[in-house]
Structures are given as C-alpha cells and as structure tokens.
Amino acid sequence: MPLDTLYPTPIYYSQVENFDAIQTEVESVVNQTNFGTVSDWGAPHQLSDPTFEKNVLNDNNMTSLTSEIHSHIRKYLEGLTFQHSSNYRGGATYNIVSSWISRFGKGEYAHVHSHGHHEISGVYYHQVTEEQGNFFFECPTPQLTSSFLYNHLSYSTRISPVKGLLLLFPGYLYHGVYANNTDDDRISLSFNVSFQKPYFS
C-alpha cells in the first residue's frame, strides 16, 4: 500500500528486568516520604516533592532503577536512529535532571500537561492496576481535530500501566492520568532527561 506516515511520535515501553530489586528500592523510599500537593493545581494528586527541585533517584541512591533507566534510554535512542542525526557526535551526553514520586488516592488524577524543554520524560509504575486510572497522550497535531478526513487520528491514546512498566516519551508531548477509582493508592516514579547540546559544549 503506497502510504507513508510521516513525522512519528516515538513512544517506548518495556518491563524492567531487575523488577524485585527495583520494587524494594522504590517501596523503601515511598515509606520514608512525606507527600505534598501543589495548591495552584487544585491538588489533584500527591507528590514527593511539590517544588520539583529535588531528584528522588539521586537523593536516595536508587541505583537499581537508575541503571535500568539508562539501559532503556540507550535502547530508545537506538530505536530513534539518533546516530543518523546531524547532532550525533559518536554518542550522547545526558542527565536525569529531575525525578519525583506521584501518589494517587481515590478520585485523584493528573491534569493534561507536558514536561517542557526536556528531551525525554519517563515514568516507572510501582503500584498500579487497570482500574486506577489510565495514562493518556494527547495528539501532538491539534490541527487534525478540525478535519473531516483526519479527525479520527487525533483521539487521545490510552495506556493501561502495569507494575514494572517503564515508559519513555518526548517531553513536549502532552499527557495526563485519569482518576483513580479504587480505594488503593496508585504509585509511580517520573523523571526528566536533558541532553548536552553540542553547540553549547
């Protein structure tokens, strides 16, 4: 069929390999965390750091999860064929510049938002079931919504997370989380990745 889909949005997801060690690591940090909310948001869910100034991965020496994230970022870059980019210089230097834990109690959700200028954003699902609120992406091409022919391509894409799933996506992509309709907490760890630009080095 002579049809080519241009300008794709690269989404990566995989189960972690070191599941038991990572679960133990995250659980230990969750148990020591005093969660708070961002009042300007209407407090839709709870955060380990409402200021987003800390880095829970670094601050708590979460080596198992950090190592796993690096492994999957390498696979993500391979899938992107980043080596063919004009910015490729034999590799890529990046840092996990921020990370935090989110806790969703009954009725809590995450409003639609993006992570701005960060090249990659990601989330690890520590405690979740299908009834606790799907993660969703908004279409990055809003012009599609007004088209008779292409409107159906602009629907939000839902992902039903499971324990141990690691998700990576472009930081500019708008996304959110539907409300948790259970009595149990939904817990995930999110992070942002920024790359060293060669023209600033």
Each residue of 48-82: pLDDT tens digit? Answer: 999 999 999 999 999 999 999 999 999 999 999 88
- Within-domain flag for 4: no
For residue 201, is pLDDT > 60? no
Instruction: Quick: pLDDT tens for 74-129.
Output: 999 999 988 888 877 777 889 999 999 999 999 999 999 999 889 999 999 999 98
pTM of the model: 0.93
User: Can you give the CATH number for the domain in which 132 is found?
Assistant: 2.60.120.620
Is there a domain that residue 168 lies in? yes
Domain assignment of residue 132, given as a range:
12-200
**Total domains present in the chain:** 1
> Residue 124: inside a domain, yes or no?
yes
Question: Is 7 a domain residue?
Answer: no
Average pLDDT, rounded, for the chain? 92
* Contact indicator for 9, 170 with CB cutoff of 8 Å: yes
Question: Is 128 part of any domain?
Answer: yes
